[in-house]
Structure 1
Amino acid sequence: MDDAPGALPAASLLQLIWLASPALPVGGFSYSEGLEAAIEWAGVTTEQAAADWLADQLHMSLARSDLAVVGQAVHAWRAGDLARVRALNDWVFRTRESAEFLLQTEQMGRSFVEWLKLRHADAAAVFDSLPASYPVAFAFAASRTEAPAPDACLAFAFGWAENMAAAAVKAVPLGQSAGQRILGRLAAEIPAAVDQALALADDERQAFSPMLAVLSARHETQYSRLFRS
């Protein structure tokens, strides 16, 4: 297959699609990232409310933290700058605002590394001394493609959006068509979120979402729940 001028090579495009797939065995489907608590305590009980809540989370939380880390970590991995990778990884762990959010990035990062070991011969050596957060592990995989950092961030954000739309369908609950409408809205807003993330300097990156943290903490003792966060 010939690639169109300026297009991402087919192999790299397929790799990004694979990385964004909810079928990837990293456990993203088991987390709602506060949505399940928001349904009980923040009035997220309709399709419109769920779409608005997730769009806000995309721009106010994901774009300012993990999405920015992915973009910066892709460059660091490609440059072989392990000190920079470690600094970004440490930042992710330090800025999780609840026990559940910390558990999520630890577990998904660990599962992602196990998958990476099946795909990349050097992954075991790289990660033996680096317990990787999920965004940093994802960036490692994306850095092994020819995709530019913005495309890697698009894939990361779309994978997040698919998981969150599926969580809304299960927990609100909503029908599949409503879930697809929510996913369509998030997909339309992801490019702007990626631009926002890639424009952030280190001192502008942040993971300060106090009400989301409160909901996550409340979820730890939520009586009836489907998800791990």
Structure 2
Amino acid sequence: MPDPAAPVGALPASSLLQLIWLASPALPIGGFSYSEGIEAGVEWAGLATEAAASDWLVDQLHLTLARGDLSIVAQAIDTWRTQDTERLARLNAWVLQTRETAEFRLQTEQMGRSFVEWLKLHHDDVVASFDKMPVTYPIAFAFAASRTQATVRDGCLAFAFGWAENMTGAAVKCVPLGQSAGQRMLGRLAAEIPHAVDHAIALGDDDRQAFSPMLAVLSARHEAQYSRLFRS
């Protein structure tokens, strides 16, 4: 039954809570164990201050996430709703084909696999949905978001904020920074996320890209980094 106190057009409470849940770093999918290049950046790219780490994450949001995985999430939410399995397979394959290092591929496969295991607790048909492909994290997230009444934009906002929380947490640990610095960085990312989401939603298949050579170089170096906290 709709909430009579909710504003007209508002997301139902159950769907809003589901999105908050999906974006939570506490979700048992291992997101906290990846820094996506930050740890290597500390050693080789001068990420030694709050300002440098904050600039790095804002750039990563707009230059890599928005133009790649976030756009995949946007397209996959509607594709799950229409059950276009052939298109889902193509979107999933794009994610796998654009991982430039072994650890980036490990991340999307491991988080996708763990997400599916978590989804099995809540959706009876999840096994049938994923039995024909090794699902990547953006595709698995889009499946969960598609089962709510959230718009595509709402789903992408949740995905991006979950990423921001994980990356801020990684920066706090490995720069290292204090919790107040982390909150300032997260606030800056939160202000940038709506624009990044709008850009991601507007991209077509021929506009997506995963070209971030400096990030790929740092990821490759991280694979052999002498001492490290994170898996990427």
TM value normalised by structure 2: 0.98
**CA distance in 1: counterparts of 2:80 and 2:72, whole angstroms:** 12
1:137 to 2:140 alignment: yes
Ranges of 4+ aligned residues in structure 1 off by more than 2 Å? none
What residue number does 2:24 align with? 21
Q: Which of these residues, 49, 54, 67, is aligned with residue 51 of structure 1?
A: 54
| Structure 2 Cα separation of the partners of residues 119 and 208 of structure 1 | 36
Whole-angstrom CA distance in 1 between matches of 2:47 and 2:26: 26
Please tell me whether residue 88 in structure 1 is matched to residue 59 in structure 2.
Answer: no
Aligned match of 1:12:
15
Deviation per residue, 1:100-125 (Å, 9 max, x gap): 10000000000000001111000011
Q: 2:201 aligns with which of 188, 191, 198?
A: 198
**What's the CA shift string for 1:110-142, capped at 9, x where partnerless?**
000000111100001111112100000000000
Identity level (%): 73
Aligned residues: 229
For structure 1, which runs of at least 5 residues remain unmatched after alignment? none
Q: State whether structure 2 residue 215 is matched by structure 1 residue 222.
A: no
Trace 1:31-110 onto structure 2 (pairs within 5 A).
Answer: 31-110=34-113
Tell me the equivalent position of 1:156.
Answer: 159
Supply the distance in 1 between the matched residues of 2:101 and 2:67 (Cα, whole angstroms): 17
Deviations 1:173-225 (A, max 9, x none): 00000000000000000000001101111001011101100000000011111
Shift of 1:26: 0.3
Give the C-alpha shift of residue 87 in structure 1: 0.5
**Any idea what SS the aligned residue of 1:208 has?**
coil
Distance 1:86 1:197 in 2: 19
> Aligned partners of 1:138, 1:64: CA distance in 2, in Å?
17
- The answer for unaligned runs of 5 or more in structure 2 is none
1:142-172 per-residue CA deviation (whole Å, 9 max, x = no partner) reads 0000000000000000000000000000000
User: Given residue 97 of structure 2, which amino acid in structure 1 is its aligned partner?
Assistant: R
SS, match of residue 128 in structure 1: coil
Q: What is residue 114 of structure 1 aligned with on the other side?
A: 117
1:131, 1:228 → 2: CA distance? 20
Corresponding residue SS for 1:193: helix
The normalised TM-score by structure 1 is 0.99
